Structures are given as C-alpha cells and as structure tokens.
Amino acid sequence: MRRPWTALLTGFLLSGILQAEPKLERFFAQNCVKCHGPEKQKGKLRLDKPSGAILGDKELLETIATVLEAGEMPPEDAPQPKGEVVAEILQTLQARILAQRPDNPLKRLTRAEYTHSMQDLFGINFDLTGLLPPDHVEHGFDKFGEAHLMSPHQLMAYLKTARFIAERVLPDAKPQATTWEFDARHFHGSKNFATGGGGDFRDGDDYVLTGFRPYRSNLHFSIDTESHDQFVIPAFGLYRLDVKAYSEKSQEGEVIGINLGDGRHPTSFRNIRRIPMPHGSKGFTTELTLRTGDRLAFTFDSARVPGRSLEKGKHKGPAMRFSHLRVTGPLIETWPTEAMKAILPKPKMNPAELVDHIALLLTQRPLAAEDQKAFVEIARIQDKSGASMTATARSVLIALLTSPHFIYKAESPELTAVERAHRLSYFLWNSVPDANLLNAARSGALAKDPSIQVERMLKDAKSSRFVEDFTRQWLQRDKVDDFGPDVRVFKNVRRMTVDSMGREGRELFRYLLEKDLGMEHFIDSDFVMANDRLARFYGLPAVKGDAFVPVKLPAKSERGGLVAQAGFLKLTSTDFATSPIHRGSWILKNLYNERIEPPADILINEPDIRGTTTIREAILKHQQLESCSRCHSKIDPLGFALEYYDPVGRKRNEYRHVEELPADPEQTMFTKKIKFTKVPIEAAMTLPNGREVRDLPTLKTALMADKKRIIKGIIGKLMSYAYGRELTLADRPHLEAVYESTADKDFSLRAAIHAIAAHPAFGRK
C-alpha cells in the first residue's frame, strides 16, 4: 500500500506529465520524426505516435532519455534543440519513469545464497551444484527478481535439496569415522584410448603424474591392490585428506587439483579444489565435505604438457610424485552436532512449538497464524504415527526449506528492521544475518548508523563471498577459461597461468576494498595484483607462491587497470583471434554501465587473408548500416585500441592469422597442423567525442577523461547487485548521492559500499 504522501506525489507527477504531452509531441515532431516517423524508422523506431503511447512504454522512455542526455540524438548533422528545451523534456521523461516505476519484484535465493545460508545456519559446507539448477542471468547478474521465475522443475529441485539437507543435519545415528590408508600399490592412472597412455605411471614406491587434464592424466585409488575399482566415499560428511607428494625437476611452486569423477574415464571431471604446493613441499592436508558415492582423483594442474602417451623415464620436465594418502571421515567434533542442537534445542517439543522454532531459526520472522497451520499439521501427523522427534523435525524442516517463507526474500514497501538486516547480509555475505547484525537491527542501531555493521561485515571472512560472487558476475571471470589456450598456438601459456588470469580481477577488487583505495584504479593503476605465474607472464619481478600481492609496475609498462588484464583480453577473444566488438562492448557495459548488446548474428574474426577484406574494413562497412552506426561508433574505437594485445593478453605488433590445415587421417589429433600468416594492425579510430584512440595508453587516457561516468557506472553495478534489480533513471538521485558522498574520500570503493547501505533507498523495496 502506498503512503498518502507517495500517492499525492505520484498524482502530482502524472498531472504534470499530462500537461506536458503537447510539448513532447512538438519536440518529437521537430527533432525526431524525420528519422523515426512514417517515411523512415531508423532502429525500427517510430516516434510519430501520440505521446500517451510513448509515455506508456517504460523501455522506450529509458532509451529516449539516455540518448538525449548523452547528446547522441538528434545526430550531429541535424538541427540541434536548445539546451533548456532538452532539459525540460528530460525532466518530463524522468518524472514519468519515476511515476510508473513498478514495485521491486519478488526475489528468491540464488543457488549461491541458498548454499551459504545452509552453511551458516547449520555449520556444514553443502555442495548443492548438482541439486539446484543454475540461476538465470539478467543484465549481468543472477540476483534480479525479474529472472527468478519458478518452474515445476525448479520446485522439485528445491524439494530434493531440502530432503538432502534435512537428512544430513538430522541423522538418526552418529556416523562412525574410519581411516583408510593408500600407497603406490593402490594408485592407478588412466588409459587414453587414442594414444595408449595418460601421462601417468608407477615408479617404485611412487606414482608419477607428468601431464595435465583434460587429456585423462590423473591419479585415483582403490582399496584392493589387485582391483581397479575406484574408492567410493561411503557416507556424507567432512573428510580429511593427508597427502604425501612432491614435485621433481621443478624450481617453482606447483599445483595439484582434487576432482570428483571416475578416474578411469575422466572426461566429466569436476575440479573441487586446487592445492598450491610451494617449492620444496612434501605434501599437504585438506578437509572436504563429500557426498555418499563421491570418487576422488588428483591431477597435476600446473604440468607443462598434456597428459598423452609418455613412457616412464622419457619425460624430461617437472613431474609430481605421490607416495601415500590417508583418508579419514566422516569427522564429527561433537554429538549431538551444533546443527542438531540448533534445530532441536529440547528433547521434546509440541508441534506448534517445533514449527515456530524452526521457522524463526530459518527466517527470523514468526509465521502468521494462517501460514502456521499447514506446517503444524505435518508435525502432528508425524507425531501420531509414532515417529521420533528427529524424524518429525526433519519433515518440518523439509517443508519450511521448500516454502516461499524461506526461498523468497521478504521485502515490505518500507523494509522492516529484520528485512533490512537480511538485505545487507545478502549484499555483503550472500547469506543470512548473524546474531550481531540482527540485534543491531532490532535495537534500531542499524537504521540509525549502518556504518558500524557494514564495517564489521566487510572485515569478516564471509565478505569474501561478496568479492567472489560480485566480481565473477560483473567481470565474467568464470568464462576466462572457457577455451584453450591451444598449446599449438600459445606454447608458453600454461593452464594455471590462465587460471591466475581469471583471479586477477577479483584480487584487484579485494585489494581496493581492503586498502580503502579509489575506484579509478579499475581504469588505471601503477601496480597490478599478481602471483608467481602471472608475474612471470607479465615479465615483472618474481613473486613467491600462489597468493596475489600488489606488484609495482615499471615506468613504461602499459599494464594496470581492468582493461590491461590478460583475463579480460582473453575473455573478449576467441580461441585464435581477438574481437574488437566484444572488447568494446564489454567496456561500455561493465565500466560505463550502458545497456548495449552486440547483434547475435554478427561474428567477425581476424583478417581473412584469402581475400582482400581486413577486420577493420569489415567493421567500418558494418558501421555504415544506419541501425548499427550509433552503437558501433562507440564500441569499435574502444575495441580497436586493444588490438595490440593478442587472444591471451600478450603484447603484439601484428596479427597472426591462424588456419587449421585438413587433418591427415593416418595421424593422431596431436599432430594436426596449423598455418600462421602475419597481417599488419591498424588500430587508430576516433570516439564520438572527437578523441582519437590508437593503443592501450591512449585508451586509458580517454577512459580517465570519462572517470566520472565510469565511477558512476561501477557504483550502478554495485547498487544493482545490492538491490537485486536493474537501475532506472528513477534511481539517479540515489546514484548521484553515493557518487557525491565518495568524492571527498577519493572515490573509495569501500566508501561507496558504505554510502549505498546508508542511503534511505536501501531501506525501501
């Protein structure tokens, strides 16, 4: 229900808009209809309709307001309306957008939020990847309520997940821990049927891995020394792995991968953890939450060669030797477990008491009387059937975990104190609020001064979930390793170097947040975040170990900032070629926060040297299409300025066109040949504002000139993530307020997060 003053404001705005309709019609007739009317419809858009029809189209209003504000329309060669006229039209459009802004739609927990909530509520690190389906992504994020539709398939997945969780947090009997010992006699490799081997072999008391996946090289293990049947985890729980392993013929740290899957046929391996092995290390200990039926296998993820046919003694590079493995679990520290004590604090509870307790544990909100009845009836039926208290609690827990009370986030038009705590917690922790945050909310301290709680939460280890999840989606870090690199083309780019590329953006964000540094470092900086592999790849002073640290850049280095990161440059390329369109559109969408999508039917790769068309000529010709020119005039210069960096982010002076030659049917896949042809690079282009960009340094200069727009773009991304919806022009006052509040703090990333949480709009639906 709207408050009276809100209704009055809306009525006033609508009244003003209706009075302004003739002005809008005149403006469109004088400035727009020539290109968007009955004779021409550039971009398939007509503006010769009654203003009422235009004002009713929210998406169209956003587009018109955006291009008018940016000065992109009318075109430069057309007569230009006076500035005060444009300002008045913009004010009218923005008022209309605000007046018809819909309520924030219902938002359900994402898979990551559900997983972390279960972990924090019950103290178990659940892996729900195979139970809950992936979340739909809307405008870059999976948190948007518009995308959170519920299908019958999803509903069944939530029911299956709830049963899985309830059976494990409320077991009928205490699991018994067991210890298994394995040595080289129990270790097995994989046979690659195409080549006769997998890059792994037994050597005395050790089992040796020389190659990396996905070419089948791995170590798995069996209980019976005479059998090749893989060891299977017998029961859900926490397991400790003690591994004796060391690298040989290596002068640097290496990485071991732990994977789930059948090591005999590892085409569907799923990596669940990577263990950095410092130089000289003799092994490691780690703990994993595993399911019944899981099978483990180890891979040498930092190996230099694919896992192909390698005979014992023939491999000259680094290798990883395994001599012993101990598996212990399921590990139980206390019984009853903390989760059992939280769910069943008393040995006997009546149905209503049990339902109210579990509901409050999960949501921190009491159930309404009409909602409570169905859950109480479930408990009563179980109780009458003679079920144990544990079994009854399991049934109630399953029902509540599957209900909208838990799956969907509760948001009133004006958030209650507890709802505000949940919004803040799902923003910064991707999980339920803790007791400290809830107490602050209920006492009024959170609403009065959220900075204390925000600062505490950012210092908590759980804030790493926000850093991981936000940067994964904003920067598409998880797609950096979607392909290659093809070792035939990029011979010196190792697999774990690409893995490090995918982590660099996250580590820059984390460092700026922790050190309270300004967001202009996303545009350019005099340092990069690097670990040992990335420092070698960039040619920087040596870094020790897998952890990322800030590394000062040499004076003439072009690195620094997001657009100079190898991960971004690889992400916006194909397997053999760069893509100026993808690079330019990425910058507009993720730094400027512009809504822009490259056409799905356009695919332009490196120059086609079999003809006369270069990539530059092809794209310039594409720009001449009226429906494409507005976007491409902004996209293409940004992308072409980065053409001096190849598909894996290395500096180059010319294109290297790659052509795969027809395969010889008598040869294996590993001898398939490719042909290289070199072509000159022409990168200079002019941005719509007249500034020329021709390489990475001039691109950074242009981006720095747009620092205000870019910082606002990044703030907008943070706000969208926090609110779970796309921003509109109606959110402009909030965005401007956050921007202004960070100005005297050097536009600190940390200050921006504080300002978002402190603004009154954060407490509204």
Q: How distant is the alpha carbon of residue 519 from its chain centre?
A: 19
Whether residue 632 sits in one domain with residue 652: yes
Instruction: Please give the residue range of the domain that contains residue 14.
Output: 4-99
Whether residue 319 sits in one domain with residue 256: yes
Low pLDDT (below 70) residues in the chain: 1-21, 43-44, 51, 70, 98-104, 191-198, 213-216, 306-313, 483-484, 597-630, 663-672
DSSP category for residue 547: S
Residue 293's CATH number: 2.60.120.260
Spatial separation of the C-alpha atoms in residues 126 and 117, rounded to whole Å: 10
Q: How distant is the alpha carbon of residue 608 from its chain centre?
A: 34
Whether residue 309 sits in one domain with residue 258: yes
> Which of 410, 436, 458 is the endpoint of a domain?
410
Which pLDDT score is estimated for 99? 66
Which pLDDT score is estimated for 17? 40
Count up the domains in the chain and report the number.
5
Spatial separation of the C-alpha atoms in residues 18 and 350, rounded to whole Å: 60
Whether residue 234 sits in one domain with residue 188: yes
In-domain check, residue 460: no
Which pLDDT score is estimated for 401? 97
> Which of 410, 428, 449 is the endpoint of a domain?
410
What would the pLDDT profile of 452-482 be if each residue is shown by its tens digit?
999 999 999 999 999 999 999 999 999 998 7
Which pLDDT score is estimated for 632? 72
Whether residue 374 sits in one domain with residue 262: no
What are the phi and psi torsion angles at 549 (to 5°)?
-135, 155
> Which of 99, 126, 149 is the endpoint of a domain?
99
Spatial separation of the C-alpha atoms in residues 295 and 695, rounded to whole Å: 49
Which pLDDT score is estimated for 611? 39
In-domain check, residue 197: yes
Answer for the pair 343, 331: CB distance below 8 angstroms, yes or no: no
DSSP states along 428-481: HTSS---HHHHHHHHHTHHHH-THHHHHHHHHSTTHHHHHHHHHHHHS-GGGTT
The reported pTM is 0.86
DSSP category for residue 136: P
Spatial separation of the C-alpha atoms in residues 335 and 243, rounded to whole Å: 28
Whether residue 365 sits in one domain with residue 232: no
Which pLDDT score is estimated for 378? 96
Instruction: Categorise residue 561: left if φ over 0, alpha if ψ from -120 to 50, beta otherwise.
Output: left
